Amino acid sequence: MCAMMTTGAVTTAPVEAPNLNNLNLKLYQRITAQVMEVRGVEATLAIEGTPVVAKMPSAQQAADLLQQGSAQFIVTGLSGDGIILRLVRQDQQTVNPSIIQPRDLATRLLEALGLAKSSETMTLAQSALKQGVLITPHTLSELETALQQLGEWGEEEADLAVALKAAGLPVTPGSIQMISQKPDLIGDAIAKLLVQLQSASGNNQATPQLTQLLAESVRLLEKSMLKWQQPADGLAQDLEFIGKLLGRSFENELSQQIKENQQAGKQESLSVLGKLQQSLQKNGQQRLAGEVEKFIDTVRHNHLMNTKSDPANGRGHWAQLDIPLTIKTGQAQQQPIPAHIRIAKRESGGEEKIDPEYTRLVIQVEIAPGVPMEVDLAFASGQVQADVTVPNGTIEQLAISEWPGLNEGLVALGYQVKTSRVDIGKTRLPGGLPEVNKRTRPFQSVDMAV
């Protein structure tokens, strides 16, 4: 919806609005709007549940409006193009008892639960309200315990802890720190570390042990990139290897070696990189050792995504794998592009398993930075429903022309394609790490008589 807003001495500018009939506004009507979001000079308001984007004269005025949480306006103009609102000065605003600010609601909830109103519990309660997480004494205790182990923490850390809880993932100091980082995409991380280790391999001053570990690590990283232009059986073998390599944590690998009394590094696994990091530190190469550690942390992000989630949160059960994909054009090998694979799991007897007969396979590839294409295959008793989502019409025609090949491949595997379609639109990759919801939700009180 479009709105022009004015104040007594200060003029706010135009905005866009939906159907005015939805609001049923009248001239000189006083309304209360919740300030949902501010981006630069634009403020997104909620008027009776209808979003209105208002353009302010300056970013500072928009930011001031956000600080208020809600504001009152008088409708001074109505037309087919939009509305004109006059912002009522704060000292002239009347209190609307139906609008509850998140801080006020957090206070009421803590009082109702019989919990102390400390700055920590208030911060957590407000964050939980923002992100739609059910507030209970147990939930607040769990979140606060994990945050206290971090040492100093504030609103940002509280938002991250609540986001983990909302996703049904473990809330621990380690998981909070992990999602607070901004890791490279796994494909970028592999390509970057590979170049660094190849460069270090040419150092003649390295010890024999370090030289061997560098060579093993380079081979491991080269094998962790899926080479697209190869026969199907080769793709299947490489994909299985990459899944085991990147899908199994360093700690899990060490535990397995201890149980089976294996020598660390004997098999191709992340433990090779762990030994390389230690060897680099002993040889005084702290910077490169830090880069190896950073890569291992990036892989840990993949592992966190595959942690069994709380089924009550509705997040769904997915085996998730993000891998680098390389495509050879002529004699040159392209830079790896990110490929994201999601496979639906079924829960049976308290265990999550992938059932090939009843599952869903989602593959998303970025054909250009920030331009994803997605193939979504739903399997049920030998039948397949295939949905392909592309970013534009050019890719749509390419996908349609390539569809017969995909159909033949599925048939060759024994599946019958029941329905298929190619759509232009935005992809919605399931799973992934939780994201913090920064938008404040409007809350209204309701009087109930029983």
Residues 332 and 398 in one domain: yes
Residues 352 and 402 in one domain: yes
Residue 216 lies in a domain: yes
**What pLDDT score was predicted for residue 9?**
34
Asked if pLDDT for residue 238 goes beyond 70, the answer is: yes
- What CATH number does residue 71 fall under? 2.40.50
The last residue of one of the domains, among 305, 339, 369, is 305
Residue 223 lies in a domain: yes
Residues 89 and 128 in one domain: no
For residue 84, count CB atoms less than 10 angstroms from its CB and return exposed for 0-12, middle for 13-18, buried for 19 or more.
Answer: buried
Residues 92 and 115 in one domain: no
Check: CB of residue 362 under 8 Å from CB of residue 376: yes
Check: CB of residue 64 under 8 Å from CB of residue 70: no
The domain in which residue 65 lies consists of 2-99
Rounded Cα gap, residues 23 and 9, in angstroms: 27
Share of the chain above pLDDT 90, in %: 6
Number of structural domains (the chain) is 4
Residues 11 and 72 in one domain: yes
**What pLDDT score was predicted for residue 445?**
40
Residue 433 lies in a domain: no
Quote the pTM value: 0.57
- What CATH number does residue 341 fall under? 3.30.750
Mean pLDDT of 306-314: 55
**What pLDDT score was predicted for residue 363?**
87
Q: How many residues does the chain have?
A: 450
Residue 326 lies in a domain: yes
**What pLDDT score was predicted for residue 154?**
87
Mean pLDDT of 123-143: 83
For the ranges 35-39, 88-92, 328-332, the maximum mean pLDDT occurs at 35-39
Residue pLDDT, tens place only, 44-78: 877 766 777 777 777 787 777 777 777 787 777 77
Please name every residue paired with 95 in a beta bridge, in sequence order, or none if there are none. Answer: none
Residues 105 and 95 in one domain: no
For the ranges 71-80, 140-149, 302-311, the maximum mean pLDDT occurs at 140-149
**What pLDDT score was predicted for residue 217?**
92
Residue 270 lies in a domain: yes
Check: CB of residue 362 under 8 Å from CB of residue 431: no
Rounded Cα gap, residues 237 and 223, in angstroms: 11
Residues 190 and 299 in one domain: yes
**What pLDDT score was predicted for residue 13?**
39
The last residue of one of the domains, among 148, 180, 212, is 180
Check: CB of residue 372 under 8 Å from CB of residue 366: yes
Mean pLDDT of 344-369: 79
Which amino acid, residue 208?
P
Reported confidence tier of residue 287, pLDDT bands at 50, 70, 90: very high
**Residue 12, CA distances (Å) to 9, 64, 71, 98, 421 in order:** 10, 12, 13, 26, 46
159-173, 282-296, 320-334: least confident range: 320-334
